[in-house]
Amino acid sequence: MSKGKEKIERTIVWDEDQSKFMLGWFTDFIKEQHAGFKIKKQHHFKCSEALNRQFNMGVTATQVERHYRHYKENWKFVAAALSKSGNTFDTTRSMVLISESEKANLKVLALFMLLAT
């Protein structure tokens, strides 16, 4: 194996309660830190230890990092949708509700993209 390359981690399926625990752990951990705090590999390692204690999962820091990054990347889309006027979040169904005016704008944009190709 060449220098600098890591062994590929096995893929695992995360249960909903495991994901919620991980996100809750990071939320609580970040609240305790200073402004401008950045999450690093050592913090993913601490979270993996907590997950392994709680659920006996056997996850590594790399697996936790990838799972966390998945949620972080998707949250950008949710935050952008919620920042637009009229859009709300339904906590019971865990989904963003888009206003009628925004839906009309999306339909026009989709039609434009279809015609442009």
Q: Is the model's pLDDT at 114 over the cut of 60?
A: yes
23 and 69 inside one domain:
yes
Distance CA(62)–CA(45), nearest Å, equals 8
Identify the H or E element spanning 48: helix 41-55
105 and 56 inside one domain:
no
For tokens 């601490």, the residue is 46
Structurally, the chain folds into a number of domains equal to: 2
The model's pLDDT over 30-64, given as tens digits with 9 standing for 90+, comes to 999 998 999 999 999 999 999 999 999 999 999 99
* pTM beyond cutoff 0.75: no
- First-to-last C-alpha distance (Å) of the chain: 44
Greatest C-alpha distance within the chain: 55
Domain that holds residue 116: 86-117
96 and 61 inside one domain:
no
The model's pLDDT over 74-105, given as tens digits with 9 standing for 90+, comes to 888 888 888 888 888 888 887 888 888 888 88
79 and 90 inside one domain:
no
22 and 45 inside one domain:
yes
Distance CA(94)–CA(91), nearest Å, equals 5
Residue 65 counted as domain residue: yes
